[in-house]
Chains A and B, each alone.
Chain A
Amino acid sequence: MKYAIWIGLALLLILHQDFWFWNDGSLLMGFLPVGMAYQIGISIAAAVLWWLATRYCWPDVDIHDRADVVEEGRL
Chain B
Amino acid sequence: MIALGIIGGYLALLLALGLFSSRLFRGTREDYMLASHSIGPYLLLMSLFGTTMTAFALVGSTGEAFRQGIGVYGMLASSSGIVHSLCFFLIGIKLWTLGRKYGYTTQIEFFRDRLGNRNIGLLLFPIIVGLVIPYLLIGVLASGSVINGVTRGAFPEVFAETGGGVPPWLASLVICCVVLIYVFFGGMRGTAWANTFQTSVFMILGIVTFVVIANGIGGQGSLLANMQSATAKVADLHPDKLTQEGISQFKFATYLLIPLSVGMFPHVFQHWLTARSAESFKLPVVAHPLFIMIVWAPCILVGVWATSATLDGVLIVPPNTPPNQELATIVKALAGDVLGGLLTAGILAAIMSSLDSQFLCIGSIFTNDIVLHHWGKERFSEKQMVLMARLFVVAVVAVTYCLSLFEPRSVFAMGIWCFSGYTGLFPLAFACLYWRRLTVAGAYASVIAMAASWIWFFTQSQFGMNRGYSVDVQLFGQELHMMPVLPITVIATVCLIAVSLVTSPPDEAHVRRFFSDAQS
Q: Could you list which residues of chain A lie within 8 angstroms of chain B, going by C-beta atoms?
A: 9, 12-13, 16-18, 21-25, 27, 29-33, 35-36, 39-40, 42-44, 46-47, 49-51, 53-54, 58-64, 66, 69-71, 74-75
The answer to whether A24 and B243 have CB atoms under 8 Å apart is yes
Closest 7 CB pairs of A and B: A61-B278, A31-B227, A46-B289, A43-B293, A30-B228, A42-B78, A33-B242
The answer to whether A66 and B256 have CB atoms under 8 Å apart is no
Hey, what's the 0/1 contact readout for B304-315 against A, CB within 8 Å counting as 1? 100000000000
Complex CA–CA separation, A17 to B301 (angstroms): 20
Query: What chain B residues lie within 8 Å of A24 (beta carbons)?
Result: 243
The answer to whether B256 and A13 have CB atoms under 8 Å apart is yes
Complex CA–CA separation, A13 to B260 (angstroms): 13
Complex CA–CA separation, A36 to B293 (angstroms): 11
The answer to whether B102 and A47 have CB atoms under 8 Å apart is no
Query: What chain A residues lie within 8 Å of B300 (beta carbons)?
Result: 36
The answer to whether A75 and B74 have CB atoms under 8 Å apart is no
The answer to whether A25 and B101 have CB atoms under 8 Å apart is no
The answer to whether A71 and B78 have CB atoms under 8 Å apart is no
The answer to whether B252 and A17 have CB atoms under 8 Å apart is yes
Query: What chain B residues lie within 8 Å of A31 (beta carbons)?
Result: 224, 227-228, 230-231
Question: Assuming A40-B293, A74-B102, is B82 touching A17 (CB within 8 A)?
Answer: no
State the main secondary structure of chain B at its contact with A. helix
Query: What chain B residues lie within 8 Å of A62 (beta carbons)?
Result: 520
From the candidates A13, A32, A46, name the one contacting B85 in the complex (CB within 8 A): A46
Within 8 A of A (CB), among B205-250: 224, 227-228, 230-232, 235, 239, 242-245, 249
Which of A30, A31, A42, A53 gathers most chain B CB within 10 Å? A31
Complex CA–CA separation, A18 to B109 (angstroms): 41
The answer to whether B100 and A69 have CB atoms under 8 Å apart is yes
The reply to whether the CB of B277 lies closer than 8 angstroms to some CB of chain A is: yes
Question: How many residues in B have their beta carbons less than 8 Å from beta carbons of A?
Answer: 60
Hey, what's the 0/1 contact readout for B92-119 against A, CB within 8 Å counting as 1? 0110010011110000010011001110
Query: What chain B residues lie within 8 Å of A46 (beta carbons)?
Result: 78, 81-82, 85, 289
Question: What distance in Å separates the Cβ of A65 from its nearest Cβ neighbour in chain B?
Answer: 9
The reply to whether the CB of B297 lies closer than 8 angstroms to some CB of chain A is: yes
Query: What chain A residues lie within 8 Å of B109 (beta carbons)?
Result: 74
Complex CA–CA separation, A25 to B230 (angstroms): 15
Query: What chain A residues lie within 8 Å of B253 (beta carbons)?
Result: 17
The reply to whether the CB of B71 lies closer than 8 angstroms to some CB of chain A is: yes
Query: What chain B residues lie within 8 Å of A50 (beta carbons)?
Result: 85, 89, 285-286, 288-289
Query: What chain B residues lie within 8 Å of A22 (beta carbons)?
Result: 243-245, 249
The answer to whether A64 and B286 have CB atoms under 8 Å apart is no
Within 8 A of A (CB), among B265-315: 277-278, 282, 285-290, 292-293, 297, 300-301, 304
Q: Which residue of A lies closest to B74 (CB)?
A: A39
Complex CA–CA separation, A21 to B74 (angstroms): 12
Query: What chain B residues lie within 8 Å of A49 (beta carbons)?
Result: 82
The answer to whether A47 and B289 have CB atoms under 8 Å apart is yes
Complex CA–CA separation, A29 to B227 (angstroms): 10
From the candidates A16, A27, A39, A66, name the one contacting B231 in the complex (CB within 8 A): A27
Query: What chain A residues lie within 8 Å of B200 (beta carbons)?
Result: none
Question: What distance in Å separates the Cβ of A57 from its nearest Cβ neighbour in chain B?
Answer: 8
The answer to whether A47 and B37 have CB atoms under 8 Å apart is no
The reply to whether the CB of B79 lies closer than 8 angstroms to some CB of chain A is: yes
Question: Assuming A25-B243, A75-B117, is B100 touching A47 (CB within 8 A)?
Answer: no
